[in-house]
Amino acid sequence: MSDTRQPLLRVRDLTVNFGSHRHPLSAVAGVSFDIYEGETLGLVGESGCGKSTTGKALMRIVEPSSGSIELEGVEITTQKGKALRNLRTRMQMIFQDPISSLNPRRRAKDIVAEPLDCWKSVEGDERTALVNDLLSKVGIDPIVYGNRYARQFSGGQCQRISIARSLAMRPKLLICDEMVSALDVSIQAQILNLLEDLKAEYGLTLLFIAHDLAVVKNVSDRVAVMYLGKMCEIGPPDTLYDAPEHPYTQFLLGAALEADPDSPLHGEVLVGEPPSPMNPPSGCRFRTRCPFATDKCAAEEPLLVEMAPGHTVACHYPLSLSRT
């Protein structure tokens, strides 16, 4: 069903390598996915799985080593100079630590106005009106708080200002990298609700990167699971959470703790820790911790296969086949 739509962002075989020639480290090892206009793609995985690097590579904050990224049909990876700067107004990023993403010695209204001033898109009264509008949209009263310095705001308020700044150029794509993980529960709920409202109002498309499975499910239209630089599974949240296809997704969900005293204590806990990306296992990268791994998993790398419309998995032995 989603195939008929034109993707806003099309990523194919994206790889990002760090380290030297002698000791290469592939943080992202051939990842492909699409984000359709107006949807939220959630990207989950444990630390070191390459989810943040993927987000940064889309912005070209880190340089992709190979692969293709197309935004609205335009190849991003080969752009340079002014063309790249132009492209970046179409996508914006919000980071995890709200306090360090803002200059503590600048005023809230100046922070939000900076993208506008860089591009000289609006000036004078129009600029002031737009800044005030953006600040009120994120719940910061521009008259009372507009002249305060970033250092005078709490974490939740700083994250609101970051959101206002990212919306200033009316981007199509917003990349949110762990944007609520540093916030307290009650503030997190406020920011997540705000994001849903702004997404509808501004017609945003989101890539929502987070490690918290409950948060990702709450905001996403589709969820992608990454492990050690590879995509494991992509699917609609309700099916992916109820009937995961990849064993890793199942273990990840089993380990997630629900704030409910009646939730069953999931017996099976994944043993061991992720291997080093310096020396990834052959074949399927999850096989060293997977209870269902066979010789085939060591020899052949599983490719993403569509199990149901819109639900793809990279596993030789998807769980739905063993369930029946």
Partner 1 sequence: MSLTPQLLVVKDLSTTFDTPAGPLAAVGGVSFDLNQNETMGIVGESGSGKTVLARTVMGLQPRSKVTVSGSVLLNGFEVVGASDVEKQKIWGLQVAMIFQDPMTSLNPVMRIGRQIDEILRVRLGMDRHAAKARAIELLELVGIPSPAERYHVFPGQLSGGMRQRVVIATALAGSPQLLLADEPTTGLDVTIQAQILNLLDEIKERMKMSVILVTHDLGVVATRTSRLIVMYAGRIVEMGSTRDVFVNHRMPYTRALLDGSPKVSNPSHTRLLAIPGRPPNLLKLPPGCSFAPRCSFATDRCHKERPELQPANTPGHTFACWNPLPTNRGASA
To partner 1, the closest distance from the beta carbon of 219 in angstroms equals: 7
CA 130, CA 168: separation in Å to the nearest integer? 8
> Which CB, 53 or 220, lies closer to partner 1?
220
Looking at 22-30, 125-133, 160-168, 219-227, which segment touches partner 1 (CB under 8 A)? 219-227
Strands 24-36 and 7-19: antiparallel
To partner 1, the closest distance from the beta carbon of 196 in angstroms equals: 7
Judged by CB under 8 A, does residue 237 bind partner 1? yes
Judged by CB under 8 A, does residue 288 bind partner 1? no
> Which CB, 115 or 237, lies closer to partner 1?
237
To partner 1, the closest distance from the beta carbon of 193 in angstroms equals: 5
* Pick from 216, 258, 215: nearest CA to 233: 216
> Which CB, 65 or 288, lies closer to partner 1?
288
Q: Which residue from 23, 105, 269, 323 is in contact with partner 1, where contact means CB under 8 A?
A: 269
Judged by CB under 8 A, does residue 259 bind partner 1? yes
Looking at 6-14, 60-68, 92-100, 205-213, which segment touches partner 1 (CB under 8 A)? 205-213
Judged by CB under 8 A, does residue 137 bind partner 1? no
Q: Which residue from 201, 258, 300, 306 is in contact with partner 1, where contact means CB under 8 A?
A: 258
Judged by CB under 8 A, does residue 250 bind partner 1? no
Judged by CB under 8 A, does residue 256 bind partner 1? yes
Asked whether the beta carbons of 137 and 167 are under 8 A apart, the reply is yes
To partner 1, the closest distance from the beta carbon of 101 in angstroms equals: 19
Phi/psi at 70 (nearest 5 deg)? -115, 125
CA 220, CA 30: separation in Å to the nearest integer? 23
Judged by CB under 8 A, does residue 166 bind partner 1? no
Q: Which residue from 4, 47, 322, 324 is in contact with partner 1, where contact means CB under 8 A?
A: 47
To partner 1, the closest distance from the beta carbon of 71 in angstroms equals: 25
* Binders in 169-198 for partner 1, by CB under 8 A: 184-190, 192-193, 196
Q: Which residue from 12, 32, 46, 149 is in contact with partner 1, where contact means CB under 8 A?
A: 46
> Which CB, 263 or 282, lies closer to partner 1?
263
Judged by CB under 8 A, does residue 253 bind partner 1? yes
State the residue for tokens 């890539």.
207
* Residues near partner 1 (CB under 8 A): 46-47, 154, 156, 184-190, 192-193, 196, 211-215, 217-221, 237-238, 241, 251-263, 265-266, 269-271, 273
